[in-house]
Amino acid sequence: MEWQGGRRSDNVDDVGRGGGGFGRPLAFGGGAIGIIGAILFYLLTGQVPDVQQQAQAPSQVGTQSQAQQRSPAQQEQKEFVSVILASTEDTWTAVLPQQARIQYQPPRLTLFDGAVQSACGFAQAAMGPFYCPGDQRVYLDLSFFEQLSRMGAPGDFARAYVIAHEVGHHVQNLLGIERRVMQLRRSVGSREDSNALSVLTELQADCYAGVWAHHANANYKSSGKEQLIQPSDIESGIAAAASVGDDRLQRQSRGYVTPESFTHGSSAQRVSWFKTGMQTGELRACDTFGKAGVRL
Question: What percent of the chain lies above the pLDDT cut of 70?
Answer: 71
Higher pLDDT residue, 276 or 152? 276
Specify the range with the lowest mean pLDDT, choosing from 17-31, 184-198, 260-274. Answer: 17-31
Let me know if residue 17 belongs to a domain.
yes
Higher pLDDT residue, 29 or 123? 123
To 10 degrees, what angle do helices 234-243 and 191-215 make? 170
Let me know if residue 296 belongs to a domain.
no
SS3 58: coil
**Residue ranges making up the domain that contains 43:** 12-291
| pLDDT interval class at 235 (50, 70, 90) | confident
C-alpha gyration radius of the chain: 18
Let me know if residue 5 belongs to a domain.
no
Identify the pLDDT of residue 22.
33
Identify the pLDDT of residue 263.
62
Give the whole-angstrom CA distance, residue 230 versus residue 157.
9
Roughly how many angstroms between the first and final C-alpha of the chain, as a whole number? 37
Identify the pLDDT of residue 179.
93
Let me know if residue 1 belongs to a domain.
no
Let me know if residue 30 belongs to a domain.
yes
Higher pLDDT residue, 285 or 114? 285
pLDDT at 6 over 60: yes
- Tell me the pLDDT tens digit for each residue of 152-195: 767 888 899 899 999 999 999 999 999 999 899 888 877 888 88
- Tell me the pLDDT tens digit for each residue of 197-209: 988 999 999 999 9
Q: How many domains does the chain have?
A: 1
Let me know if residue 2 belongs to a domain.
no
Let me know if residue 3 belongs to a domain.
no
Pairing state between β 121-124 and 108-118: antiparallel
Pairing state between β 137-141 and 108-118: parallel
Higher pLDDT residue, 185 or 285? 285
- Tell me the pLDDT tens digit for each residue of 251-262: 555 565 555 555
SS3 121: strand
Instruction: Give how far the C-alpha of residue 64 lies from the chain's centroid of Cα atoms, to the nearest Å.
Output: 22
* pTM of the complete model beyond 0.85: no
pLDDT at 56 over 50: no
Q: For residue 82, which of 106, 116, 114, 46 has the smallest C-alpha distance?
A: 106
Let me know if residue 4 belongs to a domain.
no
Identify the pLDDT of residue 158.
86
Identify the pLDDT of residue 91.
96
